[in-house]
Structure 1
Amino acid sequence: MTPHLHRAQPYALALFRIVVGLLFACHGAASIFGVLGGARDGGSIPAGTWPGWYAAVIQLIGGALVALGLGTRLAALISSGSMAYAYFTVHQSHALFPLQNGGEPSAIYCWVFLLIVFTGPGALALDGLFTDRAPDRQDRDHTAEQNTPVAA
């Protein structure tokens, strides 16, 4: 990887995380509040309806947390799991492949959020305000010490 791309990687991950989180939160807001075109029928899902309303809550809260970079890995893991559940309980029974059963968004979101679990939030995440950055500095300092020539 070129040095320029390597330096931009945390910001590319942040942009990816923010866009995905916002899109996911919009799905939840549409289902809960009937905004942005509403749920499938143009309205909102009645509160407490299983599993749609609970999925919408996960979408709204999980998407917002991922977009903000707050509790990113946990929010992404729960969001990924909810989309896996949606795919296997709602879509899989209609046909085998996502293109055939209408489950493409669920499948894609499932894998995208799983990727965020492993890559982390990238730059510009609120998680950085609450976590100790000392281990990162220690790793860099240790690496720098290893690469520094010893004077004889």
Structure 2
Amino acid sequence: MSALTRDLPAALAEVKAEITRTDSKASLLLAFIGAVLAGAWSAGHDLPHTPCLLVPGLAGVALLIGAAGVLLSSVRPNLKGRHGFPLWATLTPEQIRDAVVTDLAADIAGLSRLAVTKYTALRRAVDLTRAGGLLLLVAAVLTLGGAA
């Protein structure tokens, strides 16, 4: 067995593991965003509805909802892919055998592009979550300043 033959399955396993990690991170971040939104919703009922509180508060909530949308799109299955099981579902057993033998490098490349897309969405969602959290923090500080 050549080094290339041994290295391709290892590379494929690494890419699949990266995809799994992005999905796990997205799940955790979705749960965090849900908890922050629930807290903001609960706290918002007891606060005065002045423009100086509503503007940063609602903007923060909007950014968190946007982050959740980005995360949901990153974990949405792509069943039209031409690599891995979506491709194999369209092939006969003989074609699968040929595809696995000849197209392993293409699978690695395609799945790597998918992993990069998922990580890009995850980064965008983290940035939106940070911005939304900062705006909610501004609203909270303004609320405390008004209560003093």
| TM-score w.r.t. length of structure 2 | 0.39
Larger Rg: 2
More helix by percentage: 2
Higher relative contact order (CA 8 A, sep 6+): 2
Q: How high is the TM-score relative to the length of structure 1?
A: 0.39
